[in-house]
Amino acid sequence: MEENNLQESEHFLKLRNITLSDYNDIREVMKHVYSNIGDTWHYNHIDKLLKIFPEGQVCIEDHGKLVAFALAIIVDYAEFGDDHTYQEITDNFKFTTHDPTGDVLYGIEICVHPDYQGLRLGRRLYDARKEICEHLNLRAIIAGGRMPNYNVHANQFSPREYIQRVKHKEIYDPVLSFQLNNDFHVKKILTGYMPSDFESKSYATLIQWHNIYYQEKHPVIGSNKVVIRLGVVQWQMRNVNNLDSLFENVEFFVDAISSYNADFVLFPELFNAPLMAEFNEVDMAKAIRRLAEYTERIREKFVEYALAYNINIICGSMPFYENENLFNITYLCRRDGSWDFQYKIHITPAEKTDWGMQGGDIIKIFDTDVARIGILVCYDIEFPELARILAEQEMQILFVPFATDTQNGYLRVRCCAQARAIENECYVAIAGSVGNLPKVKNMDIQYAQSAVFSPSDFAFPNDAIVAESTANTEMTLIADVDLDLLKELHTLGSVRNLRDRRKDLYKVAWK
């Protein structure tokens, strides 16, 4: 009974690869679609394409009869560039331009029988092409697109104006409108691309779709990772006898997190504050300057740990005294032995009045072996301009070491960090300290709940929280983040916070 229902239904569509036996159906579709241009595809053309690239030739059949088809080749696009004709890209239908080692899937035909043009078969064919492009790890799909309605408007608009009006949906073009709705963008206007196309006045749009999953070919060893493992230390502030005691605590966490094969470990802001107890008898401003005397030694030890435990370390932050100016500085210690730094830019009122601390004037993006990252220290996360500047440099993960003494202070950091993840389409990891330091003024109480946040869309956790710690408890947090999900979000997200910015109206710039 079920089989009979299928046979009796109006349509029974199937997507598949073309075979040579489909040629008569191909000719019939072309006869209806290209009545003003003439016959294009001969038997020997289809035969050649099926011999050199059978997986690239796809069609849709209805009850066994081909009703739509798409043809493609692979090219080394650098050999042609953006100025080429249809005859050149196909080598006058000889297809010697097909290169299995090329980087671009070039669409040379897509055709739907007029009786089926309300069923969105073209979208199915485009989706099939995208799957082929992704499966073969090609950089992009490129094609020359017709503008069949341009002849109606040629006396009113230039090709450029026509394209803009189609983009803004003031004019409908059956080919260009369809391509734009399928995530293609116009690279340029081609002249003389297909001289026989009188409907388009011999103009064409050079269209492109980027494969966001494209991976450049790398050696098997040392190739780029997609899933990155983050380790976050929710640090217990406790009294220590000396610097060696602090190092023992630090090494314990580095060792523990690296044993999970983590790529990064993040420590909190001013995690070394317990050492200030040694200077408790002097005023707060002098005590923190004495603490700054340890900073370079601590950084050197972190570099050793990064090498020894094969992990990238964000060293929380520490006071740094330079040219009679006191800064709050964080270090990135990479597992290759290199290191870099980031100053805290915005200084809180208490840091100014109690310590005489100053803000830095440099913002950086950091390249690591697995991801492009940024670091903002505590209060800096509450200023959205900084994260936006880093996002414009393709930051993937933002690390935020913080220190807060009250729940409302913590919630400012947390809520702003979550906002930065959403508006900049990146992951944000925050790490804070817990516990008490009775002998250290201005750092005596702590409140924290460390976490890793994501953007908010279908591919991510429903609450946009990848992982979070138990509040006010010393612990570690291990979380995996997928960088490919960010690529997909930038292009295909429900909303596209980075892509949809009105740069024609406003911008954020570092002076």
Q: Catalytic amino acids?
A: 269, 344, 378
CA distance 143 to 243: 64
Give 445's DSSP letter: B
From CA 342, how far away is CA 376, in angstroms rounded?
8
Contact of 456 with 464, CB cutoff 8 Å = yes
Element at 231 (helix H, strand E): strand 227-237
The continuous run of DSSP H or E covering 391 comes out as: helix 384-391
**Beta strand 433-435 pairing with 465-468:** unpaired
Instruction: Give the sign of the dihedral formed by CA 232, CA 236, CA 237, CA 238.
Output: negative
Q: How far is residue 208's CA from residue 219's CA, in Å, rounded to a whole number?
A: 28
| Cα separation, 28 vs 50, whole angstroms | 19
Of the candidates 46, 49, 92, which has an alpha carbon nearest to the alpha carbon of residue 74? Answer: 49
Instruction: Look at the chain and count its residues.
Output: 511
Task: Give the SS3 label for residue 63.
Answer: coil
DSSP, collapsed to helix, strand or coil, labels residue 60 as strand
